[in-house]
Structure 1
Amino acid sequence: MARPRIDRAEADAVLQELRRRRDEDDCENFYHYELDAEQRLKNLFWADIDSRLDYLFHGDVVVFDTTYRTNKYGMPFVPFVGLSHHRTPAFFGCGIISDQSLDSYVWLLRAFLMSTYQDRPKSVITDGGDAVAAAVKIVFPESNHRICSWHVEQAVEEHLRGSSIRNEFRSLMCDACSPAAFEERWYGFMAKHRTAGNQRWLDAMYGKRELWAAAFVHDKFFLGMASDQRTECLATRLHTGLHGGMSLPDLLRHADACADGLRRGSAALDAEADRSRVELTTGHRYLEERAARWFTPANFYLLREEIKMIDSFEVVEATARGHPTFGKKAYTVVFRQRRGVLFHVECSGSGDVVRCSCRKMEREGLPCRHILCVMRHTNSSRIPDCCALRRMRRRGDAKSERLDEMEELGRQVFDLASEDAQEFKEIKEFLESWLEDRNAGLRGSGGAVAVVDSNTADDADSVTPATKKTKLIEG
């Protein structure tokens, strides 16, 4: 089929608008396009400054789906999305390509990479087309890659007949067994269920098994999206409302409206999180309270499920390795109901690296119950910074972070000082003296204290996009 020819007037109108946005609105608004031999628009990608900044925060996992061709040219409309700190869609940019060839996909991914300041995502989730997979391997060779489970499910429904066969295939897809165990189970499945009608599809799926089977993707960083269909939901809003009569300017307006809606929703969730006070329901009050203060509600509720499970585990062994200060401490954690189920947690002496053999932190970006069990064992209520990723947390609040550190330090000091009457008296007198001096200083200034919010001190109109980018990168 011949490549659809984009109307020159439509292409000129869209390129002129994108150029105006870059020249008049914000120089960091990005667009890139390619013309064919007849000087007609062939491929196009664009991302405004907000999309680019959102990527700096949330671009560790990128999802894009090239299967939607709902416009009058029959061209793939490809939004790039991710998971925000509220676990809602974040918009990173959008592309339109003339065909589904390898060259077009490579061009699209390279254009996207240009918009991200050459910052490659840790992981990529796609619709599973062979040309897409090849393009990801070329442009993002070091990124984890998997196929969206929704697309695999659609193929399962199409090529396998019978619910029992489908369920057996789904177990191959979802069970986190070893690669060797997968191979054994796969050949058993093929021996029972291969037919002339499904053999070609099964052979193709086996060829790309590392992109969909949990045996190969389970331990990789996909923010918990490696075994469910939430990836499809991320892009749904961008695809809802598309229809076969849409022109190129229509698609631009559609993407703008969707992106604005997603950002307004995220801002509303930020404001709601600032106001919300979650009910503490576990027996680990300090840990739960700290988690509620640091993480957005969506991530806190996931973490609280891990906190609830702490009492089902206990530390049975703790050993020190290497240098007594800078070396590592290793803990063996056992499941009380099945004493033979062991997990191994390793912490660096400085506390900046914490790992568990279950690898939940590496997969989902949230600490597991075994790490939390070790925290209880060591009487620590402060979740290590390495287990509290910035992308999972509430908007930056320096006061809250300082308060967290003071509470943790104070709890340790007060616990020790309360055991000795003289130390208790000294600490109490010091705090009373500090408060008296502090209050006297406030009275001397007439009771007025100048408070500068580092997030709002600069005039918003005077902060350039480059400055915004620098602030975000520096964190």
Structure 2
Amino acid sequence: MARPQIDRAEADAVLQELRRREDEDDCENFHRYELDAEQRLKSLFWADADSRLDYYISHGDVVVFDTTFRTNKYGVPFVPFVGLSRHRTPVFFGCGVTSDESLDSYVWLLRAFAMSISQDRKPRSVITDGGDAVVGAVRIVFPESNHRICSWHVERAIDEHLHGSSTQDEFRSLMRDACSPEAFEERWYGFMARHGTAANHRWLEDMYGKRELWAAAFVHDKFFLGMASDQRTECLATCLHTGLHGGMSLPDLLAHADACTYALRLDVARLDVEADRSRVELTTGHRCLEEHAARRFTPANFYLLREEIMMIDGFEVVKTLARGHPIFGKKVYVVGFKQRWGVFFYVECSGDAVKCSCRKMEREGLPCRHIFCMLRHNNLSRIPDCCALRRMRRRGDTKAERLDEMKELGHQVFDLASEDAQEFQEIKEFLEGWLEHRRSGAVAVGDNNAADGDSVPPMTKKTKLIED
């Protein structure tokens, strides 16, 4: 069947609008297009300035790329590039349309996306629908990125190609069990012997060829922000597919993308305001750690962390390897179950770095119960900076961090100064003088974020901020 051709007038109208936005609205708006031999529009990618900024700030570490939705009058893929915000909601990075679903076209589309983002900030991980051309394109354009197939698409294929609940459940266990690659191979051949048929053989062979993109044995330890089993979260791109219909033209798709991305940004802005104002109830027996997590992380991430904090009562540090460990590094805490011996986790502390052998931090970007157990063992009430990724934290987290540092430093200064009457008076007079000048305006009040180590690096654009 001949590939659909996009109407010239529609293509010209959309390209003219994208050029206007780039020339008149903001020079950081971005678009690229490709024409076929007949000078018709073959592929198009666009991203506005705010989408590029969202990627640049921190949300672009995991990118979802879905090509399976073709709900428009041409039947061509409408391809949004989507990520996960600090509130675990969708955030938009750009959008593409291509009328040629070949490997070359998807390579072109991914390269256009790569051109729109910072060249030194390629995505750490990519989640796709798993089409053969898409898989090949990711290998070519982002060879160093982790890549996995969205489990929602795998589930759809299971329902289509495998019959019987026991057969489907056995395949799902291959998908979800974090066994070794060797154990997976043994289990796979057993599955094929029991359930392989002439009808499903081709699909099973194809899935085996892609096993490193969907089986937990191969993807479990890779960084996907905890989206390994959460199908709803993985299908972030569906937020831009809702509302599509078969009669939509190319200008309709552009307007649809504009409306959806505007709604997504409003949602993130609303959640930022709610996070700044929120005061969560502390429910665990580890108040200091829980309180610090509540101040530092967005509510969506804090609730995940609280589950880990609640679990540390079942663990204890059974040994400290002060001289180091041949595998795990310098200072290592051996953490085990209180009621079950023989299973141990190793928390390595080396300088400013903290790692655990369970690798939850490396997979999901959030510290595990074993790290919290080590912090409790050392009577520490602060979560280390290395365990608090910026993309997981509140928008106003910098002020909270400064306040915590000032409290800790002040406690030490006041404790020492209170032992000597003269030092006490000097410190008291200094603080009273500073407050007087601050209140009178003698101390200049600048941009609170200007000297912030987490401030956004300068970009050649006028940043548009959504304020409440």
Task: Output the TM-score relative to the length of structure 2.
Answer: 0.92
SS of residue matched to 1:146: strand
CA contact under 8 A between 2:72 and 2:244: conserved in structure 1? yes
Aligned length: 452
Corresponding residue of 1:5: 5
Q: Which residue of 1 aligns with 2:176?
A: 174
Pick the aligned partner of 2:147 from 145, 150, 153.
145
Q: Does residue 1:367 correspond to 2:367, yes or no?
A: yes
Using the TM superposition, name which of 392-401 and 240-249 deviates more: 392-401
The residue aligned with 2:454 is: none
Gaps of 5+ in 1: 418-422, 458-462, 470-475
Partner of 1:105: 106
What is the match of residue 391 of structure 1?
Answer: 391
Instruction: Provide closer, same or farther for how the CA distance between residues 328 and 456 of structure 1 changes in structure 2, counting only shifts above 3 A.
Output: closer
In structure 1, the partner of 2:430 is: 437
8 A Cα contact 2:297 2:397, kept in partner: no
Q: Aligned partners of 2:152 and 2:107: how far apart in 1?
A: 24
Partner Cα separation in structure 2 for residue 284 and residue 397 of structure 1: 21
What's the offset of the Cα at 1:406? 3.0
* Post-superposition offset of 1:280: 0.8
Q: Deviations over 1:181-216 (max 9, x none)?
A: 111111111111111111111111111111100010
Partner of 1:68: 69
3-state SS of paired residue (2:235): helix
Change (3 A) 1:234 1:412: farther
Q: Comparing 433-442 with 150-159, which one deviates more in the overlay?
A: 433-442
After TM superposition, give the deviation of residue 320 of structure 1 in Å: 2.5
Confirm or deny: 8 A CA contact 2:276 2:396 kept in the other structure: no
Q: Deviations over 1:194-239 (max 9, x none)?
A: 1111111111111111110001000000000012203443112100
Shift in Å at residue 339 of structure 1? 1.6
Q: 2:226 corresponds to which residue?
A: 224
Does 1:426 pair with 2:419? yes
Distance 1:168 1:432, change over 3 A: farther
Q: Which residue of 2 aligns with 1:84?
A: 85
Match of 1:207 in 2: 209
Q: Is the 8 A contact 2:418 2:424 kept in 1?
A: no
Q: Is the 8 A contact 2:345 2:357 kept in 1?
A: yes
Give the structure 2 partner of residue 54 of structure 1.
54
Distance in 2 of aligned mates of 1:441 and 1:207: 68
Question: Structure 2 CA distance, aligned partners of 1:367 and 1:7?
Answer: 52
Q: CA, structure 1 residues 145+464, in 2 after alignment: closer, same or farther (shift >3 Å)?
A: closer
Q: Identify the residue that residue 466 of structure 2 maps to in structure 1.
A: none
Whether the aligned pair in 2 keeps the contact of 1:87 and 1:298 (CA below 8 Å) is: yes
Q: Which residue of 1 aligns with 2:447?
A: 453
The C-alpha deviation readout for 1:87-146, integer Å capped at 9, x for no partner, is: 000100000001211011000000000001223100000001011001000000000000
Alignment TM-score, normalising by the size of structure 1? 0.90
Which string of whole-angstrom CA distances, capped at 9 and with x for unpartnered residues, describes residues 258-308 of structure 1? 000000000000000001111111111111111111100000000011011
**Quick one: which amino acid aligns to residue 103 of structure 1?**
D
1:353 is matched with: 353
1:473 matched residue in structure 2: none
Moved more, 401-410 or 15-24: 401-410
**Counterparts in 2 of 1:456 and 1:405: CA distance versus 1, 3 Å:** closer
User: Partner amino acid for 1:434?
Assistant: I
What is the rounded CA distance, in whole Å, between the counterparts of 2:438 and 2:462 in structure 1? Answer: 35
Q: Partners of 1:427 and 1:35 in 2: how far apart?
A: 80
Contact 1:382 1:408 in 2 (8 A): no
Q: Aligned runs of 1:254-265 on 2, under 5 Å?
A: 254-265=256-267
Instruction: Report the equivalent of 2:460.
Output: 466
- The alpha-carbon deviation at position 384 of structure 1 amounts to 1.1
Of the structure 1 ranges 130-139 and 434-443, higher mean CA displacement relative to structure 2 is found in: 434-443
C-alpha distance in structure 2 between counterparts of 1:252 and 1:306, whole Å: 43
Secondary structure of the 1:339 match is coil
Counterpart of 1:6 in structure 2: which amino acid? I
The whole-number CA distance in structure 2 between the counterparts of 1:260 and 1:432 is 56
**Deviation, structure 1 residue 429:** 7.2
CA distance in 2, matches of 1:333, 1:444: 51
Q: 1:446 & 1:228 partners in 2: Cα distance? A: 51
Q: Secondary structure at the match of 1:260?
A: helix
Distance 2:105 2:421 in 1: 70
**Structure 2 CA distance for aligned equivalents of residues 20 and 432 of structure 1:** 65
Letter in 2 for 1:33: Y
Are the aligned partners of 1:28 and 1:49 in contact in 2 as well (CA < 8 Å)?
yes
